Amino acid sequence: MTYPQRRPRRLRTTAAMRRLVREVRPQPAQLVLPVFVREGLQGSRPIESLPGVSQHGLDALPDLVDEAVAAGVGGIMLFAIPEVRDSTGSQACAADGILNRAIERAAATASGRLVVMADLCLDEFTDHGHCGILTAEGAVDNDATLAVYAQMGVAQARAGADVLGLSGMMDGQVQAVRAALDAEGLVDTSILAYSAKYASAAYGPFRDAVESQLDGDRKTYQMDPANRREGLVEASLDETEGADFLMVKPALPYLDVLADVAQASAVPVAAYHVSGEYSQIEAAAERGWIDRRTAHLEAITSIVRAGGDIVLTYAALDAAQWLKEDS
């Protein structure tokens, strides 16, 4: 009988051995927790389609920030749900709008202990649910939207956001917001560009969370899921325009795109394990079909293995604890 000369299984014999030779080691500081802040809400309210995730009132936000700090996560990403929406999303730029008030409170509580990020997009603030200003014919007007993004970016930076998450997928959005920030002397505010954001089926629970009023779809500005090379084109443009971070969204169906972007980029690269991806794990775990902890950690590990430096995940608080226990 001929025996194998190499036995890779020798490096899998014990938990200690597997830990010793592990190639990828995600850390809590790489995780970012998405946070939903709802105007007029007291306390917190669970989101049915996002098990374990809630909308929070401004009063509940400081405790959540403190919890995130204690968990050791790297940052939070703030999203807001206003009580009143209009066709131009005017509350997005208002200093007393719910998102900018949430930024102020989160930044004051965090006091530099974690990174406060804010979503910069109009979909949460428009009564039609699109990410930009509409033409008379109902199409999203790219350049008119850029002017609003610029105002929104300045308002968020003044409120205290460390990072602006440009998620609207408008052409030239990074350049427009960077120019507006620099013109106002807000040169230390960073830009996270959602560079390769696909028109995915996995955003449904998120739209529940922000009470989206979307009419139609976003296929004219979010990317076609069939396109890989285009993701690298978008990322390259955003980096050239001055983005400090790049994003691929969703994460798991687009690990090939994430790997492409990470290999080519000179700046940190993030990936968003989006609501539908998260909820699939939660629903299957609730039914006993998979192990929740193992599935979430496997997802995070695969994202980091593909090249993600930063992972946005709704499981960030639990995952941070699990990673500490496994280290």
Residue 69 confidence class, pLDDT cut points 50, 70, 90: very high
DSSP structure class, residue 113:
S
> 56, 128, 178, 249: which one is catalytic?
249
pLDDT at 2: 87
Q: For this structure, is 219 an active site residue?
A: no
Q: What is the pTM of this model?
A: 0.95
pLDDT at 215: 77
User: 134 in a domain, yes or no?
Assistant: yes
User: 15 in a domain, yes or no?
Assistant: no
C-alpha closest to that of 296 among 308, 272, 313? 313
Total domain count, the chain? 1
> 197, 218, 273, 292: which one is catalytic?
197
Mean pLDDT of all residues in 295-299: 98
User: 179 in a domain, yes or no?
Assistant: yes
DSSP structure class, residue 143:
H
> What distance in Å separates the CA atoms of residue 294 and residue 317, rounded to the nearest whole number?
15
Q: Domain holding 157: CATH number?
A: 3.20.20.70
Q: Say which range, 151-165, 203-217, 277-291, has the weakest mean pLDDT.
A: 203-217
User: 8 in a domain, yes or no?
Assistant: no
Residue 214 belongs to what domain range? 26-326
Does the pLDDT value for residue 327 go beyond 80? no
Mean pLDDT of all residues in 186-199: 98
Q: For this structure, is 324 an active site residue?
A: no
Does the pLDDT value for residue 257 go beyond 90? yes
Residue 216 confidence class, pLDDT cut points 50, 70, 90: confident
Residue 190 confidence class, pLDDT cut points 50, 70, 90: very high
